[in-house]
Amino acid sequence: MVQSTVTDAIDFGEIRSGNLGVRLGHDQADLDAVQALRYRIFYDEMGAKPSAEAQLSRRDRDRFDPIADHLVVIDHDLGNSRTAIVGTYRLIRQDAAARIGQFYSADEFDLSALERFPGRLLELGRSCVDAAYRSRAVMQMLWRGIAAYVFHHKIDLMFGCASLQGTDPDALAADLTYLATHHLAPEAIRPRAVPSRYVEMRRLPDSAIDPKRVLAELPPLIKGYLRLGGFVGDGAVIDWQFNTTDIAVVVQTDLVTEKYYRHYERQIR
């Protein structure tokens, strides 16, 4: 674990599959490697607009990193250097978010429905994978790591922001309409875009879209959430800095595909 999480987070060790492993970041060097990877993906590749400090350091950092746990996928064929970290996910538990007064996604979405939920919350975010490793195998490793983390911390509900590339909601109309029409969260656990940033997701008649085609073309991360029984919130938000259109995603952990739990249980027997 990294920085302030070292005293209270539970480390589940490393889960291996061939040359790939997934574990929590252990130290500042791991965190630096995570921030460097995020910078390469978000800013160099996807066109996010860096601050002067980020451009100088070539690191994607914010005030939530010190209170988060950072899941990392490692290619052991690359050795033990920081360049061996090829994927990451940021995990913020409810008690960690309380240290700074909010979850990351609270700037975009009203989370009050989630905060009333009678269970333990986990916010997922800042997910990225090196371009050379965007395969089913790496995404499965990330989900196995998340399942192990959820298992250890007895998480009841996961949520976070997921992104569609681009800032023109009309260009994303089919994706947004499909998600709002077919995967809207139940009201009791439905985040809503904050009023000042709310973008309507139902932009086309349902009859104007081909659900199977749209689902097939969604970003892998969003498809992963949906495969786990995930839902989306009400309204999207334009993130001009990161050149994305963001949606809120919610997953009740009792709906998480059981194969991940079976895999993890085998690891600890």
Structural domain boundaries enclosing 232: 3-268
Number of domains comprising the chain: 1
What tens digit of pLDDT does each residue of 176-234 get?
Answer: 999 999 999 999 999 999 999 999 999 999 899 999 999 999 998 899 899 888 999 99
Whether the CB-CB separation of 261 and 151 falls below 8 Å is answered with yes
How much is the pTM? 0.89
| 195 exposure class (CB count in 10 Å sphere: 0-12, 13-18, 19+) | exposed
| pLDDT over 60 at 5, yes or no | no
3-state secondary structure 202-259: CCCCHHHCCHHHHHHHCCHHHHHHHHCCCEECECEEEECCCCEEEEEEEEEHHHCCHH
Largest CA distance in the chain: 53
The closest of 68, 143, 55, 124 to 30, measured between CA atoms, is: 68
What CA–CA distance (Å, rounded) separates 200 from 1?
A: 39
The closest of 195, 208, 189, 200 to 245, measured between CA atoms, is: 200
- Give pLDDT, residue 174: 97
What tens digit of pLDDT does each residue of 227-269 get?
Answer: 888 999 999 999 999 999 999 999 998 756 455 555 444 544 4
The closest of 117, 114, 155 to 256, measured between CA atoms, is: 155
- Give pLDDT, residue 123: 98
Q: How confident is the model at residue 2 (pLDDT cuts 50, 70, 90)?
A: very low
- Could you count the other beta carbons within 10 Å of the beta carbon of residue 82? 16
- Give pLDDT, residue 6: 34
Chain mean pLDDT for the chain? 90
Beta strands at 121-129 and 157-165: parallel, antiparallel or unpaired = parallel
- Give pLDDT, residue 11: 64
What CA–CA distance (Å, rounded) separates 156 from 120?
A: 5
Least confident piece of the model among 23-37, 82-96, 254-268: 254-268
Least confident piece of the model among 7-16, 62-71, 108-117, 191-200: 7-16
Q: What is the CATH number of the domain that holds 42?
A: 3.40.630.30
Mean per-residue pLDDT, 43-72: 95
Mean per-residue pLDDT, 96-120: 96
